[in-house]
């Protein structure tokens, strides 16, 4: 998964039951507002469904458990509308330059896996 695809990953793209991840958008890290944040994937064939291991699914579940208290604590200040997997603590996007450093350690394997160009 490319960095922009990983950055655009939303919880609705994760299917824990079938252990799949839907890749259907990329993140424009230079977008001026939320309406410009999500773009089409790099090529037509970049839109795809990938399988994830049980380990990755478990790591994602742990990451979700880490995010949920932040969402509750910040309430309307949290960017619920983005529904992003990889976020800052307030639900905003992680800058491209910080993508590898800013995520919780339990999700770091996920970022490394997703950031490899396939």
pLDDT per residue of the chain (118 residues) written in tens, 0 to 9: 788 888 899 999 999 999 999 999 999 988 888 888 899 988 888 899 999 999 999 999 998 999 888 888 888 888 888 899 988 888 888 887 776 554 455 455 555 555 443 3
Domain count, the chain: 1
* Domain of residue 21, residue span: 3-115
Name the E strands within the chain: 14-15, 20-23, 26-27, 38-39, 48-51
CATH number, position 47: 1.10.443.10
Please, is 63 exposed, middle or buried when counting C-beta atoms within 10 Å of its C-beta (0-12, 13-18, 19+)?
Answer: buried
pLDDT attached to residue 103: 47
Rounded Cα distance, 26 and 16, in Å: 21
């Amino acid at each position: 998964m490319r960095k922009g695809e990983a950055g655009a990953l939303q919880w609705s793209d994760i299917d824990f039951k079938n252990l799949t991840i839907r890749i259907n958008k990329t993140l424009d890290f230079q977008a001026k507002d939320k309406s410009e944040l999500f773009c089409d994937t790099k090529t037509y064939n970049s839109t795809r469904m990938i399988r994830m291991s049980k380990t990755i699914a478990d790591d994602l579940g742990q990451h979700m458990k880490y995010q949920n208290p932040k969402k509750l604590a910040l309430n309307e200040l949290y960017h619920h509308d983005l529904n992003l997997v990889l976020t800052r603590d307030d639900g905003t996007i992680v800058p491209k330059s910080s993508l590898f450093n800013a995520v919780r350690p339990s999700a770091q394997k996920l970022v490394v896996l997703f950031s490899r160009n396939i």
